[in-house]
Structure 1
């Protein structure tokens, strides 16, 4: 597990997203996650929605199901999946600015709360499906992130996690110059490898139904963000003021690091598809996963 040399906590994560809220929405939009490209010709808006739709497909959502969006950001993923699949979604975010934006853009069946997932207060076995798109990275206690998902899901429940991952056995220079600074500058308490995520998921009781490495399909997110940020800095005085004067302005340094981390393989992007055993169903043998594994 990669751990930053300055510890991060939930308050630092909330402060990061609250303060940088205008920049995130101006540069990238209301989805605070990577885009997923298939042809390379998709617009950024199409690409971020493609990632959401991929998550929905992996979850096999059924109309009327109760779902949880862990780290829901502005609620955009919850709204899209609720409308597309007819499900009910409870979203949780640490950011008051994100919660405020979600409240101003209501959709029937979507309920967003300002709450820490690690103390979520949700009832045992109350959800049929859950997803976490790039929020596990911000969890101080990653084993509890998985164990809480297992607790909240009903037997047979499905869980999809999209995660920034460290390269397995990353070399020292990649850790020192790319991965550790990315964690520190992006308010990530830690960054795990695929193997560490799978071990934590299985320890929590999940079966691993699939894993897909889509690093090459998401990496262009950061070159687009870099261009968008430069354009915004040149065109807008308020963006310049915030980007250069914010407490969290150091995150701007992470953009070139992220570009290089993907190009060198230091960072990976994985989609895990997990499930909770049904009642009276024998647990799957540890380490076994489906044909989606790549």
Structure 2
């Protein structure tokens, strides 16, 4: 597990997103996550929606199901899946700015709550499916992140996690100059490997049904962000004021680090498909192997 040399907590995470809120939306939009490219010719907006569709497919969502979006950002994923799949979604964010934006863009069947997932207050065995798109990285207690998901899911429930991951063999300069600063500048309390995530998921009681490394298909996100940000800083006085005046402006330095981290393999992007055992079944134990799926 990669841990930053300055510890990060939920307060720092919330401040990061509240502070950078106008910059994120100006530069990237209201989906605060990577895009997923199939051909490389898709627009960024199409790519971010493609990642959401991938999650919906992995979850095998059915109309009327109750779902949870863990770390829901502006609620865009929740709204998209509520509209396209006919599900009901409860989303959790610790950013007041994100919660306010979501409240100003309501969709039937979507309830966005300003609350920490680790103390979510949902009843046991109350939802059919859950997802976490790039929010597990911000969890101070990752084992509890998985424990809470397992607790609130019904038997047979599905859970998909899209995560920034440290390369299994990342060492030396890749950690010192890429992964540790990315964690520190991006307010990530830690960054785990694929193996660490699977171990935590299975310890919580999940079966790991699948894993897909889509690093090559999402890495384009950061070159698009870099190009847009540079252009905005040069030509848009308001974006320049917001970005350079932000308390968390150091995150700008992470953009070239992220580009290099993907290109060197120091960082990976993985999609985990997990299930909670049915009442008459048993979850896999820690020794159960899983096979990677083609990207």
Equivalent-residue separation in structure 2 for 1:199 and 1:100 (angstroms): 36
Aligned to 2:98: 98
Equivalent-residue separation in structure 2 for 1:174 and 1:237 (angstroms): 35
Cα distance, 1:146 vs structure 2 = 0.2
Equivalent-residue separation in structure 2 for 1:71 and 1:135 (angstroms): 5
Aligned to 1:68: 68
Matched residue pairs, number? 294
Aligned to 1:181: 181
Equivalent-residue separation in structure 1 for 2:200 and 2:41 (angstroms): 36
Tell me the SS of whatever aligns to 1:250. helix
Cα distance, 1:290 vs structure 2 = 5.8
Q: Which runs of 5+ in 1 are unaligned?
A: none
Aligned to 2:204: 204
Q: Which runs of 5+ in 2 are unaligned?
A: none
Aligned to 1:169: 169
Contact 1:210 1:293 (8 Å CA) reproduced? no
Instruction: Determine if the alignment matches structure 1 residue 121 to structure 2 residue 99.
Output: no
Detail structure 1 runs of 4+ shifted over 4 Å in the superposition: none
Aligned to 1:82: 82
Contact 1:127 1:152 (8 Å CA) reproduced? yes
Equivalent-residue separation in structure 2 for 1:108 and 1:88 (angstroms): 8
Equivalent-residue separation in structure 2 for 1:214 and 1:137 (angstroms): 17
Contact 1:31 1:74 (8 Å CA) reproduced? yes
Contact 2:202 2:284 (8 Å CA) reproduced? no
Equivalent-residue separation in structure 2 for 1:293 and 1:193 (angstroms): 18
Aligned to 1:288: 289
Moved more, 262-271 or 243-252: 243-252
Equivalent-residue separation in structure 2 for 1:227 and 1:291 (angstroms): 33
Moved more, 251-260 or 168-177: 168-177
Q: TM-score, normalised by structure 1?
A: 0.98
Aligned to 1:40: 40
Tell me the SS of whatever aligns to 1:279. coil
Contact 2:212 2:292 (8 Å CA) reproduced? no
Tell me the SS of whatever aligns to 1:33. coil
Equivalent-residue separation in structure 1 for 2:111 and 2:282 (angstroms): 34
Cα distance, 1:250 vs structure 2 = 0.3
Q: TM-score, normalised by structure 2?
A: 0.98
Contact 1:208 1:290 (8 Å CA) reproduced? no
Cα distance, 1:235 vs structure 2 = 1.8
Tell me the SS of whatever aligns to 2:293. coil
Cα distance, 1:234 vs structure 2 = 1.3
Equivalent-residue separation in structure 2 for 1:182 and 1:287 (angstroms): 32
Instruction: Determine if the alignment matches structure 1 residue 274 to structure 2 residue 252.
Output: no
Q: List per-residue Cα deviations over 1:77-133 (Å, max 9, x = no partner).
A: 000001111110000001000000100110000000000000111110011000000
Contact 1:139 1:189 (8 Å CA) reproduced? yes
Contact 1:219 1:259 (8 Å CA) reproduced? yes
Equivalent-residue separation in structure 2 for 1:46 and 1:101 (angstroms): 21
